Amino acid sequence: KAGVTQTPRYLIKTRGQQVTLSCSPISGHRSVSWYQQTPGQGLQFLFEYFSETQRNKGNFPGRFSGRQFSNSRSEMNVSTLELGDSALYLCASSLGTPQETQYFGPGTRLLVL
């Protein structure tokens, strides 16, 4: 099976712009989770989607949003980018129950200038 894919892999934006990141889960996986990883804060949970419904959301401002499509692919959007949004954004997929392992994609490295 193909793994989790994320596009783009690298992105450079300027403050105030917005960005959309995409994630395609492993075939058959219906849950997609998004995480932000920074050197200072580590891996932090953004949100999780299952069958197009957001089931949980982390403590991030409303500038961070996401959605999931009927084919389980997911997108996350960050509006009005700030310098502090520079991070590695990771997507993980699983079958959808809490006990299931989450498998990570390669990530999108975002640099905000």
Partner 1 sequence: QKEVEQNSGPLSVPEGAIASLNCTYSDRGSQSFFWYRQYSGKSPELIMFIYSNGDKEDGRFTAQLNKASQYVSLLIRDSQPSDSATYLCAVNTNDYKLSFGAGTTVTVRA
Is 85 among the residues that bind partner 1 (CB under 8 A)?
no
Candidates 64, 107, 110, 112; binder of partner 1 (CB under 8 A) is: 107
Write out the E strands in 1-113. Answer: 5-7, 10-13, 19-24, 31-38, 42-50, 53-57, 64-68, 74-78, 87-94, 103-104, 108-112
**Residue span 18-57 as binding mask against partner 1, x where in contact by CB under 8 A, dash where not:** -------------x-x-x------xxxx--x-x----xx-
Q: Is 102 in the site for partner 1 (CB under 8 A)?
A: yes
State the minimum distance, in angstroms, from the CB of residue 22 to partner 1. Answer: 15
Task: Please give the Cα distance from 6 to 9 (Å, whole number).
Answer: 7
- Residue 98 in the binding site for partner 1 (CB under 8 A): yes
Closest to 106 measured CA to CA, from 22, 31, 16, 47: 22
Residues making contact with partner 1 (CB under 8 A) = 31, 33, 35, 42-45, 48, 50, 55-56, 58, 88, 90, 92, 98-99, 101-107
